[in-house]
Amino acid sequence: MLTVTPQYITDNTGKKISVVLPIKDFKAIMEELEELEDIKLYDEAKKSNEPSVPIEDAFKMIEAKRK
């Protein structure tokens, strides 16, 4: 589990308006978000029931479109 140590910036009334994180915490959060996005995209692809394409073929199709 990811543990972060945030600091808060507050307005004149004490309402939290911003967060300050150590850069290592920020980078860890960004890595987690990227992984979650990958999982979400994978799950969506599996649900679509579209036929899969071998990676080699996919690269060939991409390269053909570039030319």
pLDDT one-digit tens code per residue, 19-30? 999 999 999 999
3 state SS of 16: strand
Q: Distance between CA atoms of 17 and 26, rounded to whole angstroms?
A: 17
8-53 pLDDT tens trace: 999 999 999 999 999 999 999 999 999 999 999 989 988 888 888 8
Decide if pLDDT at 67 tops 90.
no
pLDDT at residue 7 is higher than 90: yes
Query: pLDDT at residue 2 above 90?
Result: no
Among residues 31, 3, 6, the alpha carbon closest in space to that of 20 is found at 6
